[in-house]
Amino acid sequence: MEAGASEGKYEETLRKLIKFFDWKRCDDPESMALETLSRFLSTIASEDDETGKDTPLVLYSIANNVFREYLRKASHLASSAFALQIETPDIFAGCVKVCLEKLSDEDRNLLKAYYSVDERILLAESLGVDLAVLRMRVHRILTQVQSCYRKCIENEMRK
């Protein structure tokens, strides 16, 4: 197979996996798709050439396993976060508010719009950007908020 054709196939598969995880409402579909492809490539590298005929099935199975791991992790995080919220609900709400207030108005409005619309592609078009660019912007903003939130919680717990 030609290098350009295999690269195109890789990108197409990556796009389909991102859609798969996005449809399942995962927090970070891009990294989950990359993890799936990484596992798939190591699987086919370690097995005989017999995997080739069942490639879509193997890929789908790996994607489902990655999704199940995500659900287990999310369930565990939710239950531990819930337990902490029972003890200190005001701290969590206060930290979220503080961290969101630290964002620029533009970033705050983008987050609000991103999570309030059903069709994110329409939001991307209204902003004049590709959907992938919109997702990356939101991801960067959320990374800032998460970092601020962790620091805030740590500081509150020390008090």
Instruction: Residue 105: give its domain's CATH number.
Output: 1.10.10.10
Residues 101 and 29 grouped into a single domain: no
Residue with the bigger pLDDT between 74 and 141: it is 141
Task: Name the domain count of the chain.
Answer: 2
CB 64 within 8 A of CB 33: no
Q: Domain of 81? A: 1-87
Residues 6+ apart with CB under 8 A from 33: 14, 17, 18, 20, 21, 63
The count of other CB atoms within 10 Å of the CB of residue 82 is 9
Residues 97 and 112 grouped into a single domain: yes
pLDDT digits 0-9 by tens, 49-91: 555 567 888 888 999 999 988 888 876 665 555 444 444 556 6
- The answer on pLDDT for 136 being more than 90 is yes
Can you tell me which residue has the tokens 């991307």?
Answer: 124
- Amino acid letter for position 158: R
Residues 61 and 20 grouped into a single domain: yes
Nearest to 39 by CA among 81, 69, 12: 69
